[in-house]
Amino acid sequence: MQNKPYDAPHNPSREEALSRYRTVETLSEDERAQPSEDRQFVAALERGLRVMRAFSSSRDLLSNGELAKRTGLTKPTVSRLTYTLARLGYLSHASDTGLYRLGAQALVLGNAAVAQLDIRLVAQPLMQELAAYAPVGVLLCARSGLDMICIEMRRSPQVVGLGLDVGDRLPIALTAPGRAYLACLPADKRTLLLAELRKSNQTGWQKVSRGIEKAKKDIDARGFCMTIGDWFPEFNSAAVPLNIESPYGTLTLNIGGFASSLPVALIETDLGPRLVRLARRVERLLRGPKGALEPSVFQD
């Protein structure tokens, strides 16, 4: 089945629908790293949140010194921030090791944010269906700075050692979900984001840029894009942008796995088109009850 070019992000009605979520302009990575001239901007709060953003599922225990390196803040500043965040329950401190991890209050905030995403409830069973069909991980991602952050994941029982989970970050420039996100941005916003990405990926940017441009063409032509070993050697993935309302901007659905179980030919002839159908079905289900009567994405 041939897919129509994905041109929904340029539809003004969609932008109008999303505008109610964009009452405050999000800072770029560069702007976050510099003092703001906005009198309403609380720099101390930004520094505290910068500390919390330094944690991930792969780096869940960090010292003040490690946090200073990851945030660009001085160690005395980090020490005051981690002490305050720990007193408030947003960090947990291990007295025997001196290391910090995210606390219960951070979990409460995360759950409150994720609970707003009705799309998760709609997408979960369809993502699970695809994960049961093929040896892949199926991710739902949203943009976070210069990364895509996983907000939902379903993993095939056959996938071992994939190492990704909810809350993990994937670089926009090097991964399929990031390139799918870039592909559907309006031209002016894509240009600005590409400039930021180039500054943070100066080594090998020419090759990365070619991959981003190819992804845009692939999304337009067949609805999905691929990365073949671009992020990690022997790791392949494919992604599709979702045309739905979201308080977190454009979301993407993607599949990923090791090349031995997810070869290029399998993506191009089978799983890529299935992923596109999955995305389109999620969109229809979120727009009205008629979608609930539609057949499975696995019925050709």
CATH of the domain at 158: 3.30.450.40
When divided into structural domains, the chain yields a total of 2
Q: What is the CATH number of the domain that holds 81?
A: 1.10.10.10
**Among residues of the chain, what percentage have pLDDT more than 70?**
76
- Round to whole Å and give the CA distance between 228 and 234: 8
The answer to whether position 208 is within a domain reads yes
The answer to whether position 286 is within a domain reads yes
**Quick one: which of 21, 244, 13, 194 has its CA closest to 113?**
21
Structure tokens at 15: 């932008």
Which of 75, 94, 110 marks a domain boundary? 110
The pLDDT value recorded for residue 272 is 96
pLDDT tens sequence across 90-99: 888 887 788 9
pLDDT tens sequence across 155-180: 887 766 566 788 888 999 999 999 99
> Is residue 119 scored above 60 in pLDDT?
yes
The pLDDT value recorded for residue 116 is 53
**Among residues of the chain, what percentage have pLDDT more than 90?**
39
Q: Do 211 and 229 have their domain in common?
A: yes
Which of 72, 87, 110 marks a domain boundary? 110
> Is residue 4 scored above 80 in pLDDT?
no
- Please list the residues that pair with 226 across neighbouring strands: 238
Structure tokens at 6: 């994905």
Residue 227 and residue 175 in contact, taking contact as beta carbons nearer than 8 Å: yes
Q: Do 126 and 72 have their domain in common?
A: no
Q: Do 56 and 151 have their domain in common?
A: no
The answer to whether position 276 is within a domain reads yes
The answer to whether position 17 is within a domain reads no
List the alpha helices (DSSP H) in the chain: 12-18, 29-32, 43-53, 64-71, 75-87, 104-115, 118-133, 176-183, 187-200, 205-222, 264-266, 272-287
Structure tokens at 88: 């408030």
Task: Work out the pLDDT band at 108, boundaries 50, 70, 90.
Answer: low
Task: Work out the pLDDT band at 107, boundaries 50, 70, 90.
Answer: low
pLDDT tens sequence across 236-290: 999 999 988 777 788 999 999 888 889 999 999 999 999 999 999 988 887 765 4
- Round to whole Å and give the CA distance between 243 and 252: 9
The pLDDT value recorded for residue 266 is 95
Task: Work out the pLDDT band at 121, boundaries 50, 70, 90.
Answer: confident
Q: Do 156 and 61 have their domain in common?
A: no
Q: Do 151 and 280 have their domain in common?
A: yes
Q: Do 145 and 49 have their domain in common?
A: no
The pLDDT value recorded for residue 113 is 56
- Kindly state the average pLDDT of the residues 198-206: 85
Higher pLDDT, 65 or 39: 65
C-alpha distance from residue 175 to each of 37, 67, 227, 228 (Å): 34, 26, 6, 9
Which of 57, 75, 110 marks a domain boundary? 110
The pLDDT value recorded for residue 13 is 41
The pLDDT value recorded for residue 194 is 94
- Round to whole Å and give the CA distance between 24 and 274: 36
The pLDDT value recorded for residue 8 is 37
Long-range contacts of 56-62, Cβ-Cβ distance < 8 Å, separation of 24 or more = 56/167, 56/168, 56/169, 57/165, 57/166, 57/167, 57/168, 58/163, 58/168, 60/101, 60/102, 61/94, 61/97, 61/99, 61/100, 61/101, 62/99, 62/100, 62/101
Residue 63 and residue 101 in contact, taking contact as beta carbons nearer than 8 Å: no
Q: Do 138 and 248 have their domain in common?
A: yes
Higher pLDDT, 299 or 149: 149
Structural domain that includes position 181: 116-293
Q: Do 178 and 56 have their domain in common?
A: no
- Round to whole Å and give the CA distance between 183 and 6: 9
- Round to whole Å and give the CA distance between 48 and 71: 10
